[in-house]
Amino acid sequence: MTDKKYKLLFIDDDTFISDMYALKFGNAGHNLVVASSVDEALDKLREGNDYDAIATDLIMPGKDGFQFLEQAKMENLLGDSVIIVLSNQDEPEVKTKFKELGAVEHIVKAHALPNEVLKLTIDAIEKYHKK
C-alpha cells in the first residue's frame, strides 16, 4: 500500500458497518463517502462526483447492489472507479454476476477484519485504477 489518499463511495444500508468503515478509512487519510441506499448512491454519482473506488453491499432493502451496478453502468456513471463488492454473498453464481457487472474484487464481510478490508480495497485501487 502506498501513502496516496483515495476517495471512495461506500454503499451499505447498515449504518453500524458504514460508520465503522468511514472511521477506519478516514483514520487512514482516505475520504469515504457513505450512501445508505442504491438511490442515494446513484444521486451522488449523478452529481458528478468522481471516486477512485465504489464498494457496494449486494443485499439491501429496495434495490440491491446488482441493481445499483446495472443502473450505474446503464447511465455511464462509474467512470474509472474500481468496483468492489463487500458482501456476505459468496455463491459462485453471485460472483459470476457481479464480475459481469464490472466488479474486480469481492470481500466477504464476515471473513474480513476492518484492517483487511482497508488493505484489500486500497490494493484493488492501486492495481485496477486507470488514473
Structural domain total, the chain: 1
How many other CB atoms are there within 10 angstroms of residue 72's CB atom? 23
Q: Are 97 and 119 in contact (CB under 8 A)?
A: no
CATH of the domain at 71: 3.40.50.2300
The reply to whether 44 falls in a domain is yes
What is the domain extent for residue 105?
Answer: 7-123
Instruction: Give 84-99 pLDDT, tens digit per residue.
Output: 999 998 888 988 999 9
The reply to whether 97 falls in a domain is yes
Residue 32: per-residue pLDDT: 96
| Residue 26 parent element (H or E) | helix 15-27
The reply to whether 2 falls in a domain is no
The reply to whether 46 falls in a domain is yes
The reply to whether 25 falls in a domain is yes
The reply to whether 65 falls in a domain is yes
Q: Is the pLDDT of residue 113 over 80?
A: yes
pTM, two decimals, is 0.93
The reply to whether 76 falls in a domain is yes
